[in-house]
Structure 1
Amino acid sequence: MRSIWKGSIAFGLVNVPVKVYTATEDHDIRFHQVHGKDGGRIKYNRVCSECGQVIQFADIDKAYTSEDGAQVILTDDDFDKLPAAEKHEIPVLQFVPSEQIDPILFEKSYFLEPDSASPKAYVLLASTLEESDRTALVHFTLRQRTRLAALRVRDGVLLIQTLLWPDEVRETEFGSLEDASEPSGKELTMAKSLVESMSEDFAPETYTDEYQIQLQKMLDEAIANGGQKVTHPAAAAHEADAEVVDLVAALQRSVDAAKSGKQAGEEREEPKTKRARVRKTG
């Protein structure tokens, strides 16, 4: 695994250096869109609806459109001005009983590895959380976005799980439940009896994704049989995604600039900072 973040946990006056790794992975089989007739890849260009030109990533900003049609365009400089936790620090805000965190709030999980010659502080924090049956609430900033997160222990390893903010969980108002009658005592007794007869310890390894298994089997058989659904486009191995094309273009511009002497000791002009712009659409 490759770490995606390095920093430290601020546990009071104790500093715990850590590396962060994505804890889960998606095993779904990936597909791409092709022309059914000849198997050619379908590509999409980033075309501006105003000028009709294909736009490079470097020239793309983010925009927000309000309900009354006002569009606000923000650049990276604008986002850098927003308040955020220290990018390389995970501050502990408080410790709460683990059972008080509703599972619906859990979003994405990350493993933390100690990043120091001596993992004593790491082990101390992990042991304290485990023995106290508490979860630490922290601020975790990743890719310029600060999230509330739960810091807990799994098999002796510290684990961060980002949390949804309370207002991101929808309220439930199902009218169909308002007139529902309460179950009778006999119904509850029978239902509990059924639950008891089906009760076992949770063993996730006993469950398998049958859809993915059968899908992979179908694909393997098609390739082995060399059926008409299997194609080998000549250019497939050399085709580049739009992002790669943009990168090559950017590198070429850099090479051209270097050859023309623009970077040979000349005094560079300070780039102009783009500011948020508001425009009325519609």
Structure 2
Amino acid sequence: MPRSIWKGAISFGLVTIPVKLYSATEEKDISFRQVHPEDGGRIKYKRVCEKCDREIPYAEIAKGYETADGRMAILEKTDFDNLPLSTTKAVEVVQFVEESEVDPTYFAKTYFLEADGPGVKPYVLLRDALVATGRSALVKVALRSRESLALLRVKDNQLLMHTMIWPDEIRDGAFAAPPADVTVSDAEVTMARTFIDALSGEFEPELYKDSYREALEEVVEAKLAGTAPAEETAPAPQDADVVDLVAALRASVEAAKKRREEKGDGSKKSKAG
């Protein structure tokens, strides 16, 4: 069982719900070390003070905030622990909203919330009330030395918390929008919709896998075994300037239908086996 990363309480009006917080996700990327290629030796870094030129142990390093005029405010662990914020030990409900109203761009990280001790019954009360009203709870919470907005929602009979970034942390993406004078024809939209229909279905995340990580693992295994990694022929690059969008989409629809038929046959064979 994973270890909780935070303990506190949800403030649901005058009801207090003691909870533990667990990270809901884990990175499964392949990690590499920086090494000297000639002998495989690891590259190490030292924490050296630029003034006294001494190596400083991690336990003796503090956080410093430098102002524009060069002044330095040095903060220690007690400064962060004693912040005058109610959200350092509590998840404060500030509003109830429709989940669809919150743009996914705001979501940062997902956590599981577990009721702690006597918090089980009020936890169930909040969960069932959110389900009954079709709402999610917008909250404020302080995690890892910063306060965040977050969204509490119900999934699989438990509460999840999605931390969110602040509105002023979202960049203006207007520069990336296509020019307003670029238009497409009705025939092109119709064919695009046909392609979307051909690939539409229920979201089944278990059907997808990290092919890049698998390929990289094969390269690592080949290196360890002293053999040459398998080569795969990359598809020929497509001309970026597609003149006939309808023809290209029609071919895409046919390819999508073929993949679906092959997938259907494969699933039938596996069930039959």
Q: Please, what TM-score do these two structures have when normalized by structure 1?
A: 0.73
Following superposition, the deviation at residue 70 of structure 1 comes to 2.5
Does the alignment pair 1:74 with 2:66? Answer: no
Q: 1:216 & 1:122 partners in 2: Cα distance?
A: 42
Q: What whole-Å deviation, never above 9, does each CA across 1:126-160 have from its counterpart, x for those lacking one?
A: 12212322110111122332211111111111011
Q: RMSD over aligned Cα, in angstroms?
A: 2.3
Structure 1 gap ranges (5+): 228-282
In the other structure, the counterpart of 1:135 is: 136
Please give the alpha-carbon distance, in whole angstroms, between the structure 1 residues aligned to 2:90 and 2:124: 18
What corresponds to 1:18 in structure 2? Answer: 19
2:109 alignment partner in structure 1: 108
Counterpart mapping for 1:149-228 below 5 A: 149-174=150-175, 177-223=178-224, 225=225
- Are the aligned partners of 2:7 and 2:21 in contact in 1 as well (CA < 8 Å)? yes
Measure how far apart 1:117 and its partner are. 4.9
Measure, in 1, the Cα distance between the counterparts of 2:82 and 2:52. 30
2: distance between equivalents of 1:169 and 1:138? 19
C-alpha change, 1:117 and 1:82, in structure 2 (3 Å) is: closer
- Structure 1 residue 69: deviation in Å? 4.6
Larger helix proportion of the pair: 2
Greater RCO between the two (CA within 8 Å, min separation 6)?
1
Q: What is the SS of the residue equivalent to 2:178?
A: helix
| SS of residue paired to 1:27 | coil
Distance 1:72 1:107 in 2: 30
**8 A Cα contact 1:85 1:146, kept in partner:** no
After alignment, is 202-211 or 74-83 more displaced? 74-83
Q: CA deviation at 1:82?
A: 4.3
The 1:127/1:87 distance shift into structure 2, 3 A limit, reads same
**Which AA in structure 2 matches 1:74?**
I
Q: What is the deviation of 1:214?
A: 1.8
Shift of 1:118: 6.6
Moved more, 39-48 or 116-125: 116-125
Equivalent position amino acid for 1:33 in 2: Q
Conserved in 2, the CA contact under 8 Å of 1:97 and 1:133?
yes
Cα contact 2:17–2:115 (8 A) shared by 1: yes
- Displacement, 1:190? 1.8
Post-superposition offset of 1:41: 1.2
> C-alpha offsets along residues 133-190 of structure 1, whole Å, 9 cap, x if unaligned?
2110111122332211111111111011100000000002327723432322222222
Number of residue pairs the alignment of both structures matches = 226
Q: Does the CA contact (< 8 Å) of 1:63 and 1:71 recur in 2?
A: no
Write the letter of the residue equivalent to 1:205.
E
Amino acid at match of 1:138: V
Residue pair 2:65, 2:72 contacting (<8 A) in 1 also: yes
Q: Distance in 2 between matches of 1:118 and 1:78?
A: 29
Equivalence for 1:260? none
For residues 103 and 89 of structure 2, the distance between their equivalents in structure 1, rounded to whole angstroms, comes to 27
Contact kept in structure 1, 2:9 and 2:16, CA below 8 Å:
yes
Q: Which runs of 5+ in 2 are unaligned?
A: 228-273
Q: Which residue of 2 aligns with 1:61?
A: 62
The CA deviation string for residues 77-118 of structure 1, in whole angstroms up to 9 with x for no partner, is 554564423422211111011111000000011101111257
Cα distance in 1 for residues equivalent to 2:95 and 2:176: 38
- The alpha-carbon distance between structure 1 residues 137 and 176, as it changes in their structure 2 partners (threshold 3 A), is closer
Instruction: Give the drift of 1:51.
Output: 2.7
Determine if contact 2:152/2:159 at 8 Å carries over to the other structure.
Answer: yes
Q: Percent identity?
A: 44
Q: What letter is aligned with 2:182?
A: S
Equivalent residue letter for 1:202: F
AA at the equivalent of 2:114 = E
DSSP 3-state at the match of 1:178: coil
Q: How far apart are 1:26 and its partner, in Å?
A: 0.2
